[in-house]
Amino acid sequence: MLLISKNKTTTAVGVTQSVEFTDLNSTAASFLLELRSNATNEVLLIASSDAGTITTYRPRWVSFGFKAGTAEAQGVAPIYDLSGPKYPEGYYGYTIYAQTTEYNSDPSGLTVVNSGIAFIQDQDGAFSEANYVSNTDSVEGYTYYTE
């Protein structure tokens, strides 16, 4: 299970998040993490760089970093926007793909190396069910968290 922390709304960029996973059969130095919210069904794609990926301990574990912020940017520790109600605190399904191109954000044709459940934790305060409201979209019927 992955644990990811959202940045505080008072902070433009949070601390570096470390994504650690088992990678038994690939030799990739770059990966793509796909997160799908169980609450909103929104998808977030987080790409790693060759320079920011630690493969020394493969196959036991591989690691890459990124930062949660309010604006997106690329670099050795990329920044991804996890703010607002689009990506609420809660459970996400995740899939990690091996890739040969740094920062590629298209999973088409990529090989899955790991999958499971992630939890995104809100650093602004404890989760409360009282903060949930129904989505007005009667077709999809999703429930989402409002900040």
Domains and CATH numbers, the chain: 2-145 (2.60.40)
The CB density around residue 122, as the number of other CB atoms within 10 Å, is 20
Q: How does pLDDT run along the chain (147 residues), one tens digit per residue? A: 888 887 766 666 777 888 999 998 899 999 999 999 998 899 999 998 888 899 999 988 999 988 887 777 776 667 888 877 788 888 999 999 999 988 888 999 999 999 999 998 887 655 445 455 555 555 555 555 555
What is the pTM assigned to this prediction? Answer: 0.78
Using the 8-state DSSP alphabet, how is residue 59 labeled?
T
Burial 68-89 (b: 16+ CB within 10 A, else e): bbbeeeeeebbbbbbbeeebbb
Which residue type occupies 10? T
